[in-house]
């Protein structure tokens, strides 16, 4: 099973939690590609996740299946070439969200990959999702909780993307999105770009990217931003590694076994 994540050194906690949740329910070998880069000229905190951090997480994966591995992909050179002058580098998300748009430029990426945001936690096996037939599609995704009302009935959330890289290279999907984002400011830049430029996408059931709360059939819970109307309109953006807030704000205890393991591993590492 081929997975892709992206981010800088700050994604360590989310990456660890997401992968711990996967190996809890899927014991097959994983190949996990982590796209990262240094970008200090934009923000001094934009430091790539280290090989040491990835080796630590890989060790946890190999306790379940010795054939699993993490592959660190430094995207700095291709990022400069393709997105160095992008008009969407500064917005509510970091530039690391754009790195998935470079997957077609990275030779080691196989034809089928499942991209996951680091704020996703797996509740049931993702095998069915991963094996979904997308031969004639560029990608498969779940409708966005809010975007399907505000933008387009088929507007998808891109925190979970089953990607047909062969088809994407044929149609030039990511190339088209990169061109769009280099030319003008776009709200929810890469997500909107992917939705706008796709020629054929497959809509998946909600259970593969649940953006509100865990239900009986939920496969992936995506802790994406939500808004609340009461007592007054406000945004809520609680991530899995903020364990107390997951409990107190979302009243979510569905992943306590994973979060407790995460906290235990973090404690052990700090004592090394």
Q: Report CA-CA distances (Å) from 225 to 12, 94, 159, 241.
A: 19, 15, 11, 15
In angstroms, rounded to a whole number, what is the distance separating the alpha carbons of residues 104 and 174? Answer: 7
Fold for 2-223, please state it.
Spore Coat Polysaccharide Biosynthesis Protein SpsA; Chain A (3.90.550)
Contact (Cβ atoms closer than 8 angstroms) between residue 138 and residue 33: no
Number of neighbouring beta carbons within 10 Å of residue 167:
18
pLDDT by residue (tens digit) across 50-80?
A: 999 999 999 999 999 999 999 999 999 999 9
pLDDT digits (tens, 9 = 90+) for 159-205: 999 999 999 999 999 999 999 999 999 888 899 999 999 999 999 99
Number of residues written out for the chain: 272
- List the alpha helices (DSSP H) in the chain: 12-25, 51-64, 76-83, 127-130, 147-150, 165-171, 173-183, 189-197, 243-248, 256-270
Q: How far apart are CA 51 and CA 29, in angstroms?
A: 20
Contact between residue 122 and residue 22 where contact means Cβ atoms under 8 Å apart: yes
Q: Are 75 and 40 spatial neighbours (Cβ–Cβ below 8 Å)?
A: no
Token pair belonging to 131: 């094996």
Residues of the chain above pLDDT 70, percent = 98
Quote the CA–CA distance of 183 and 178 in Å, as a whole number: 9
5-44 b/e (C-beta count within 10 Å ≥ 16 → b): bbbbeebbebbbbbbbbbbbebeeebbbbbbbbebeeeee
Q: Per residue in 86-107, pLDDT tens?
A: 999 887 789 999 999 999 999 9
- Going from N- to C-terminal start, the domains of the chain cover 2-223
What number is the average pLDDT over the span 30-42?
A: 96
Selection from 1, 29, 35 nearest residue 15 by Cα? 35
Cis peptide before 231 (omega within 30 of 0): yes
What pLDDT is recorded for position 19?
A: 98
Q: Could you read off the pLDDT of 213-246 as tens digits, one per residue?
A: 999 999 999 998 876 767 777 678 899 999 999 9
What is the C-alpha to C-alpha distance for residues 186 and 88, in angstroms, rounded to an integer? 7
């Amino acid at each position: 099973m081929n997975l892709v994540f992206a981010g800088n050194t700050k994604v360590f906690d989310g990456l660890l939690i997401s992968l711990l949740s996967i190996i809890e329910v899927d014991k097959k070998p994983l190949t996990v590609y982590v796209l990262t880069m240094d970008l200090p000229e934009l923000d001094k905190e934009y430091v790539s996740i280290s090989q040491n951090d990835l080796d630590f997480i890989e060790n946890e994966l190999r306790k379940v299946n010795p054939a699993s591995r993490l592959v660190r992909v430094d995207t700095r050179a291709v990022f400069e070439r393709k997105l160095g002058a992008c008009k969407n580098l500064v917005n509510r998300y970091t530039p690391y969200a754009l790195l998935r748009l470079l997957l077609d430029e990275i030779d080691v990426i196989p034809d089928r990959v499942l991209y996951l945001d680091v704020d996703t936690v797996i509740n049931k096996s993702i095998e069915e999702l991963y094996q979904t037939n997308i031969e004639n599609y560029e990608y498969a995704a779940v409708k966005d909780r809010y975007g399907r009302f505000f933008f387009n009935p088929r507007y998808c959330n891109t925190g979970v993307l089953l990607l047909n890289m062969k088809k994407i290279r044929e149609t030039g999907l990511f190339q088209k999105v990169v061109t769009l984002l280099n030319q003008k400011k776009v709200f929810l830049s890469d997500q909107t770009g992917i939705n706008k430029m796709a020629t054929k996408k497959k809509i998946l059931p909600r259970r593969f990217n649940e953006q509100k709360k865990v239900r009986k059939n939920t496969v992936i819970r995506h802790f994406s931003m939500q808004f609340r109307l009461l007592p007054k309109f406000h945004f809520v953006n609680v991530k899995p590694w903020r364990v107390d807030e997951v409990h107190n704000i979302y009243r979510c205890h569905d992943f306590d076994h994973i979060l407790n393991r995460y906290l235990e591993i973090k404690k052990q590492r700090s004592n090394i």
